[in-house]
Structure 1
Amino acid sequence: MTLYRQLLVTMLLLFAMLFITAYSVQFSSTRSYLAQQQQTTVINTVTSLGLALTPYLETSDTLGAESVINAVFDGGFYRKVQLNLLAAGQQITREHQASPQGVPDWFVNLGLFEGARHEAVLTSGWLQLGQLYVEGHPGQAYYQLWQGMSQLATWFVVCFVLVWGLLILALRYLLKPLHDIEVQAREIELHHFGKAIPLPNTRELKEVVSAINNMAGKLEVQFREQADEAERLRNKAFLDEASGLGNRAYFVSQSQSWISDGTGGAAILISVDMLEQLYQDEGFAAREQMVKAIAGNLRQLCRRFDEYALARISAYEFAMLVPESDAERLSLLGSEINRLIAELVIDPVNSLNISVVGIVVVQSGDDTSQLLTRADNALNKARMNAAGAVVIEFYQEEHKMGRQVWKQLVEEALAEDYFELSSQAVLGFDGQLQHEELYIAIRKDDVLHGAGNFLPAVEQFKLGERLDLHIVGRALTLLAQRPALRLAVNLTQYSCRQVSFWHELKLLLDRHAGVCSRLFLELPESAFASSKSALMEPLSSLKVAWGIDHFGRHFDLLTQLGDLRPHYVKLDYGYSSQVAQSDYDDAFLAAVCRAAHNMGALTIATRVETDQQVEVLKTLYVDAYQGFISPPKRLD
């Protein structure tokens, strides 16, 4: 029970005890007063009636005596009036046994009044004339007691309700600082730091609130410093200071991640040959200024893609990874890159030595060295042809199905539900299953098409919303059928940007509210990089846990993790792929994990393949892992 309720109940009980005590005293005193009043009235009646009857008894006027008795009996509240005429041996009796009016029977049955009675002998000198007996009727006493105590009880109840309401208002006002402290403590426990609590007027609470505010401020600064330290280590390891882009190590790590994802795309090498001439003619400062301008143009160009990687890999070369594999589109992209760079040269001395572009399509069997070797070959061919040339190398068999064919296949799969579901376990280092990540594929005519093949077409033709709602619906059905299952579903970049998707998703989750606690949504990091504020409201309204996939690809998101408040982050494979190597520098990865913990998020390493990697990851503040060390399994 809360302190507020304890205080409220205690005060109300004390007030109730005070009411019961006062009511009991008042009830007892009123009852005694009415009983005494009735007894006095009966005695007075016997005395006055005896004086009135004596003259009639002396003359043996029985009718006169009876008339006097009738007048007294009818004018008062008496149960019985009896006169025994001793000389005549007669008896005059009047009785009224009716129950009192306006009083409940249960109240009368309490026996609070026995009825006052008094008896006297009427004499004339030494002669005894008769014996008079009068018994009062308790009905009037019951009626007066009932009316008085009912009104008193009514006023007490009204006062009780009024005091109850005033106590609620008073306690809420007085205990508001404690409620604010409770909320702040819960936020601190979740590693969330809101605004400072206003200082209350109560001296004791003021000291507590001040201490809480100081502690929250210090923790926020400490966690922010750790996030900044992780950012500094990442910049040191993966950032080219001159251009503000990633460096060669960054590009290599991202290439490994792209290849392992199997999502395809293309690697683009850009050689800006005129930078060397600019350095010789105008010096280092002019070259660095041109590098920044080129980096800005390339960054702006890449923003048209949902996922990309951009780096400066040498003094005169830039590299890009883009989710595009169509030859015509890549050729247009290469020409646009050359044009943007050429526009930066005001008066080129030799327009034939500005820039060239080499492009290779990422193949499923590639490794990083093969990809970079083929990209270098394409770049060398472009340089041999002429400035501004674009050379594209790819294996023709990878493109035997065009985007329109993939689109048709996805639409048919959505209509006929050709999707085959599998899952891969996410395990803690204690062996406990955290959840399972859902994988999808399309099986048609006994041919299985992996998600990496058709997802580019899904994004290009804006099919992500339909696909995600369909897969989430399938996942919810599986969760309803298997009470022990916990599934994580990946959302597409396109869906995350659609208001209609979040509305339909909320309706879908409301229809399956009983299993939503076992559903996890995974959003790509690029979705937050492009529209972070637009995602916070729909995510906070959903009653499901969510995480960030491929965390670490974007340089400016790490310090914003506290604002995002995910339940977990899955580290990009490029940062954890080399943990088992002897020369691997784990400072950055450990700093990222500590920063995530401080902001309340679990960290999950992906694509873990060996026990050696597991042992190393244990020491780097990673909470869980997944990969082919625990292969995917069919769900349906």
Structure 2
Amino acid sequence: MAWTQKTTEISRQRGAITLRSLLLLFTSGLLLLVLIAAASVSFDRFRDYMSNQLQGHARDGATAIGLSLSNAIDGRDPVASASLIDAVFDSGRYLSVVYMNNQGEDVAGRETSLREVDVPDWFVALADLPLPAGEAEVVRGWSQLGKVRVVSHPGRAYEDLWAVTVRMVAGSALIGGLGLVGLFWMVTRLMRPLSAVEKQARALGKRDFRRRVNLTSTRELNQVTLAMNQMADDLGRLFEGQAKLIQHLRKVNNEDSLTGLASRRAFEQRLKVEVESEERAAPGVLFTLQLEEFAEYNQSYGREEADRLLIRVADALEAFVRRHGDSFAGRMTGAGFAVFLPGVSRADGVIWCRQLVEELDGIYSEMSAPMDVSVHAGIAQAAENRTVRDLISAADEALRQVQAEQGSTCHAADLDRPEHHDSEEWRSIIEEAIARERLSLWLQPMVRASDDQVLFHQVFSRIKTVDGWIKAGAFVPMAERFGMIPDIDRWVLVRSLTLLRLQPEASLAMSLGMGSVASETFRQELLERLSAAGKERCRLQIGISEQAIHHHRTAVGLLVRALNRLKVPVLVDRFGVGGVPFSYLRNLRFQALRIDNSFVHDIDTHDDNRFYLESVTTIAKSRGVRVYVTGVETASEYSTLQGIGIDGAMGYHLGRPFEAVDSGQAP
């Protein structure tokens, strides 16, 4: 309903007359009325003048003929009178010349009708000059012989009046045209600031507060431009303040204040989603790491050096996490850390954990020399029906076992549990799935929070094996490590565009892997395919994870701006876990945010996450950005999210994924 009203309003605005057109129309109409009035007055006065001239001419002609008949010619002689009248009439300046006796009988005379004149007939009818008659007496001595009646011919008067009218209209049109041209130039020049203000207002609507209006015009318009510039500055500062508030809330709720890693509470919350959530649960391994003898190091070198050590260790963990897609790290205790790698087998986890321990041992030993220090790690594998508490306990137990050994090393728990695929098996599975197209497109609905109507469907891939379907959450992290994610995203893009072409009413959203965003080749191919897709590209939302925004700022900026030019909606995926300042929304035009599952899981009992999500929703909506959430698995979670005011939600509670088939199953 709201969309319909908005469309109607826009249509009305498009049909409304512009201010410049209104000013020009009013002024030109007023000028036209003035010119018409002036021309009418001039025409009437000249017409009256010509009528007076005709009347004087007729009177003079009658007097001259009367005198001639009275003195030069004997007016009693009809033949002589007729000769005189013929001579006068043949001059062509009279319509009628009649000599009548005292009884009113015609003695002599000539008459003719109004001859054709060189003016349009409609003008003759419009002017309609009166034909006054001039009269004079004819006398002989003291006797009155009769009188002469003369009517002047108006032909020349019509021609003169027509010539004057043409020149007057032409002059008025020339003056009016020059006046309108001058008025158009002046109004256009005066209205230029308004056009600039309109562009500035549109930029403000897109959260671009950098545009300024520097044009000058009238005093009133200058005041408007100054006010708009001030408003842009104020909104920019307001946005900066809101962005800093969001960043502060994120740090308070999710980050360790010293290292910038996830806090223990945030790490366990996100780990809970990865391990216990039905939607995201996938194999993976957990590392718990401990810097041994840290208390002695702190006492010997002081707090500042201890903090510097922890920061260097955190930087090494961040670098390790970046090399392993979808993995994350957190600080658990003073010198204790944890890392979770989704989709990784125990065997691969042991190899990577040893490499990490060696790297951390090098940092620790370098900064603590000549002290004898070590780094220990415990490894536990996530498995079905294993809770977060069980997983952390198993990793801690493995850590305690290795702490009894000398030197830096790691130990894996749960050796009796069945192994998952190792890295080589994963590589083989993914390569074969891509080469033989054993991937399948799956859809999951995103519903509108206000009425549970489907807004669009999220698309993702699954791999079909003899043992069943493998979720994207299990193989995508491995595909990221092997550099295969662009091939998978390319396959999903092609199938999604095909589905949109087959389903004209469908709307889809797909998320790009970090490797795809970083690949210039993939970005170029993505834009080319979307450009060639036609109108259906506008029904495909492209999701870019916040981690990708954090690690590939330049590439993301180029991609988002190119997608904006193609009118392809762009959303921030997995919002809240990338550690990116919220201010990036000021410089990049995203249409929506999709909150990460870790903030949604158990939100009905998690006050901090609920407050954070309320703040994000309020600020995002004030910027015209929609807010979606994923991972909704209970009615209580959904009810809480509806109260917050989100735009849409997705999760197993609202709709499970289903396979998109070629038979035309409507998504």
- Where in structure 2 are the equivalents of 1:117-156 lying within 5 Å? 117-118=132-133, 120=135, 123-125=138-140, 126=143, 128=145, 131=148, 133-138=150-155, 140-156=156-172
What letter matches 2:600 in structure 1?
Answer: S
CA distance in 2, matches of 1:398, 1:128: 143
Match of 2:392 among 361, 368, 372: 372
What letter matches 2:53 in structure 1?
Answer: Q
Q: Which residue does 2:514 correspond to in 1? A: 493
Q: Does the C-alpha gap of structure 1 residues 154 and 304 become closer, same or farther in structure 2, counting only changes over 3 Å?
A: farther
Match of 2:447 among 415, 426, 435: 426
1:313 aligns with 2:337: no
Match of 1:163 among 179, 191, 201: 179
CA distance in 2, matches of 1:251, 1:295: 14
CA distance in 2, matches of 1:609, 1:365: 17
What letter matches 1:577 in structure 2?
Answer: H
1:18 aligns with 2:41: no
Match of 1:238 among 239, 242, 254: 254
1:225 aligns with 2:241: yes
- Where in structure 2 are the equivalents of 1:164-563 lying within 5 Å? 164-175=180-191, 193-194=209-210, 217-218=233-234, 220-259=236-275, 260-261=279-280, 267-273=286-292, 275=294, 278-279=297-298, 281-304=300-323, 307-322=326-341, 325=344, 333-334=352-353, 336-344=355-363, 345-346=365-366, 353-356=373-376, 367-376=387-396, 387=407, 389=409, 395-398=418-421, 402-413=426-437, 419-428=440-449, 430-433=450-453, 435-441=455-461, 448-456=469-477, 459=480, 460-461=483-484, 462-464=486-488, 466-477=490-501, 480=504, 482=505, 485-497=506-518, 498=520, 499-501=523-525, 503-508=527-532, 511-512=534-535, 516=538, 519-529=540-550, 530-531=552-553, 532-563=556-587
User: Under a length normalisation based on structure 2, what TM-score does the superposition of the two structures give?
Assistant: 0.77
CA distance in 2, matches of 1:539, 1:53: 103
CA distance in 2, matches of 1:558, 1:69: 104
Offset at 1:24? 2.3
CA contact (8 A) 1:465 1:501 kept: no
Offset at 1:289? 1.4
Offset at 1:424? 1.4
CA distance in 2, matches of 1:99, 1:326: 112
CA contact (8 A) 2:343 2:475 kept: no
DSSP 3-state at the match of 2:337: strand
1:424-466 alpha-carbon deviations (Å, 9 max, x no partner): 13232x3253613323445869965543355446652221552
What letter matches 1:423 in structure 2?
Answer: Q
CA contact (8 A) 2:599 2:609 kept: no
CA contact (8 A) 1:117 1:136 kept: no
Offset at 1:553? 0.4
Offset at 1:550? 1.0
CA distance in 2, matches of 1:505, 1:256: 38
What letter matches 2:308 in structure 1?
Answer: Q
Alignment root-mean-square deviation, CA: 4.3
CA contact (8 A) 1:53 1:68 kept: no
Q: Does the C-alpha gap of structure 1 residues 201 and 442 become closer, same or farther in structure 2, counting only changes over 3 Å?
A: closer
Match of 1:568 among 592, 602, 619: 592
What letter matches 2:624 in structure 1?
Answer: G
Q: Does the C-alpha gap of structure 1 residues 111 and 319 become closer, same or farther in structure 2, counting only changes over 3 Å?
A: same
Offset at 1:633? 6.0
Q: Does the C-alpha gap of structure 1 residues 44 and 196 become closer, same or farther in structure 2, counting only changes over 3 Å?
A: same
CA distance in 2, matches of 1:583, 1:624: 21
Q: Does the C-alpha gap of structure 1 residues 443 and 556 become closer, same or farther in structure 2, counting only changes over 3 Å?
A: closer
CA contact (8 A) 1:593 1:621 kept: yes
CA contact (8 A) 1:181 1:209 kept: yes
CA contact (8 A) 1:356 1:379 kept: yes
Query: Which consecutive residues of structure 1, in runs of 5 or more, have no partner in the other structure?
Result: none
Stretch moving more, 394-403 or 549-558: 394-403
CA contact (8 A) 2:441 2:495 kept: no
DSSP 3-state at the match of 1:156: helix
CA contact (8 A) 2:509 2:543 kept: yes
CA contact (8 A) 2:325 2:478 kept: no
How many correspondences in the alignment? Answer: 619
What letter matches 1:507 in structure 2?
Answer: S
What letter matches 2:133 in structure 1?
Answer: H
CA contact (8 A) 1:248 1:313 kept: yes
Offset at 1:346? 3.3
User: Under a length normalisation based on structure 1, what TM-score does the superposition of the two structures give?
Assistant: 0.80
CA distance in 1, matches of 2:114, 2:219: 69
CA distance in 2, matches of 1:500, 1:604: 28
Offset at 1:551? 0.6
1:104-130 alpha-carbon deviations (Å, 9 max, x no partner): 44434x342246353546735246488
Q: Give identity over the alignment, percent.
A: 20
CA distance in 2, matches of 1:603, 1:89: 107
1:68 aligns with 2:103: no
Stretch moving more, 551-560 or 63-72: 63-72
1:300-346 alpha-carbon deviations (Å, 9 max, x no partner): 44444554423222333333345663789766644553454344343
Q: Which residue does 1:39 correspond to in 2? A: 55
1:492-524 alpha-carbon deviations (Å, 9 max, x no partner): 434444441453255245x216x83x5543322
Offset at 1:214? 5.4
Q: Does the C-alpha gap of structure 1 residues 222 and 67 become closer, same or farther in structure 2, counting only changes over 3 Å?
A: closer
Q: Which residue does 1:613 correspond to in 2? A: 637
Stretch moving more, 246-255 or 575-584: 575-584
DSSP 3-state at the match of 1:489: strand
CA distance in 1, matches of 2:179, 2:121: 33
Q: Does the C-alpha gap of structure 1 residues 180 and 68 become closer, same or farther in structure 2, counting only changes over 3 Å?
A: same
1:522-550 alpha-carbon deviations (Å, 9 max, x no partner): 32222322225334422432324432221
Q: Does the C-alpha gap of structure 1 residues 27 and 472 become closer, same or farther in structure 2, counting only changes over 3 Å?
A: farther
Q: Does the C-alpha gap of structure 1 residues 258 and 36 become closer, same or farther in structure 2, counting only changes over 3 Å?
A: farther
CA distance in 2, matches of 1:274, 1:157: 99
